[in-house]
Amino acid sequence: MSVTFEDVKSAAALLAGHAVETPLLESPALNERLGGRVLIKPETLQRVGAFKFRGAYNRLARLTAEQRVGGVVAFSSGNHAQGVALAARLLGMPALIVMPRDAPTVKVEATRGYGAEVRFYDRATDDREAIAAATATERRAVVVPAFDDAFVIAGQGTVGLELVRQAEARGVSIDLLLSPVGGGGLLAGVSLAIKALSPSTELHGVEPAGFDDTRLSLEAGERRGAPPAARSLCDALESPMPGLLTFPILQRSLASVVAVSDAEVAEAMRVAYATLKLVVEPGGSVALAALLAGRIDLAGRTAAIILSGGNVDGALFAKVLAGEI
């Protein structure tokens, strides 16, 4: 199933009054440091603290009355889990989330807090998709993918729709946009909106070093997984490869994909806290990290960046702020 800009507009209409229209921020101090203009879309301020609520609600709201009886099953390390859990609660249906045993405690507790049941799996030995599929069959539930679903992609694309319209309201033209990319749901959806409304804007994806499967896939011209790597600080971006639906959209849209190290991500988290007064989780910080590390030349240009989530474990955040990571 293909996804179009019309689907993004439809998602925006459905999400109105349910999702937060997050602001577009600007920091003179950050602009001065980077030598260009940066517009910041803080999805940290979205419901559940991440953009994932948009796609989850758009997907679940499309279920029929019969489908809602069995509820939904999802697999996620945290932000999609929370988005699905809250959307299910708002729409009055049960939800079960398959989560890794080592998922951040703050994300597990929040998922349960929104009313979902959590079933754990072992990243090293278990197949989360198989567990979700078996559970869905048992419960007659619908599996809600984290990114490879047309309604999920369209919902995430509303971030880009808002961003362009907010920039236009300021009379600002966006030269380039940087976004985190894991499975590609956010960046695929955003690219549909950006290319429709601001076709001259360059789109750049940002991945954690060692998990640059999107870059490898674009270079190969087909979906590829990155070689096995140690865990990343960016737990939200450890997707094994781009999705079947997201990859063709990214192929058409992206100017480049760059990678950032854990140390660069930690520095971006500190800058976001000290300069922007925002708490941003590691995966949500990668676009800012790419600019701070000089991966993209910003000189004299205007960039928009997406801070995709703010659900960071308190103990980890304290270590980052203390410079221990």
Mean pLDDT of the chain: 96
Q: What is the pLDDT of residues 282-324, one digit of tens each?
A: 999 999 999 999 999 999 999 999 999 999 999 999 999 999 9
Residue 56 pairs in a beta bridge with none
- Kindly report, as residue ranges, where domains of CATH 3.40.50.1100 are found in the chain: 5-50+149-321, 53-143
- Active-site option among 198, 239, 285, 308: 308
Dihedral angle computed from the Cα positions of residues 87, 90, 93 and 94, in that order, rounded to the nearest 10 degrees = 60
Overall fold of domain 5-50+149-321 = Rossmann fold (3.40.50)
pTM of the shown model: 0.96
pLDDT at 1 over 80: no
Pairing of β 25-26 and β 37-42: antiparallel
Q: What is the pLDDT of residues 134-163, one digit of tens each?
A: 999 999 999 999 999 999 999 999 999 999
- The b/e string for 244-256 (b: 16+ C-beta within 10 A; e otherwise) is ebbbbbbeebbee
200 catalytically annotated: no
SS3 306: strand
- Active-site option among 41, 52, 239, 285: 52
SS3 74: strand
- Distances 163 to 61, 177, 185, 218, 291 between C-alpha atoms, Å: 23, 10, 17, 26, 18
308 catalytically annotated: yes
Dihedral angle computed from the Cα positions of residues 196, 150, 223 and 74, in that order, rounded to the nearest 10 degrees = 140
Handedness of CA 50, 52, 54, 57 (dihedral sign): negative
> Yes or no: is domain 53-143 CATH 3.40.190.10?
no
pLDDT at 259 over 90: yes
**Residues making up the chain, counted from first to last:** 325
Residue type, 92: G
